[in-house]
Amino acid sequence: MEIIEDYLHIAQFYPFVSQQVGIKIYELLKNYNSISNQLIILGGAVKLQKIKTKNITARHLALNSLCLSFIIYIMDCISKRI
């Protein structure tokens, strides 16, 4: 969250770098997507023993869904500021 705030601060005071800010935020979202895909969908969290259970449960999927909802909220705030 702090990284995104820094990017927004830069974009607000230096409008000519707003495209670069968008690219960096896109990269952050892309990394989140690939890591969550590996850990949850492909079962990497079980293989790496990141979770205590032997299965990915609905609780894990719901937590990931909440994180994605938070990211969508942040993206709305970002689009209003830039």
Sorted by where each begins, the domain ranges of the chain are 2-81
pLDDT > 70: what percent of the chain? 72
Span 10-30, pLDDT tens digits? 767 777 777 777 787 788 888
Alpha carbon of 51 to those of 30, 34, 48, 80: distances in Å?
23, 18, 8, 37
Q: Answer yes or no: are the C-beta atoms of 50 and 37 closer than 8 Å.
A: no
pTM of the model: 0.59
Alpha carbon of 16 to those of 4, 20, 47, 81, 82: distances in Å?
17, 9, 45, 14, 11
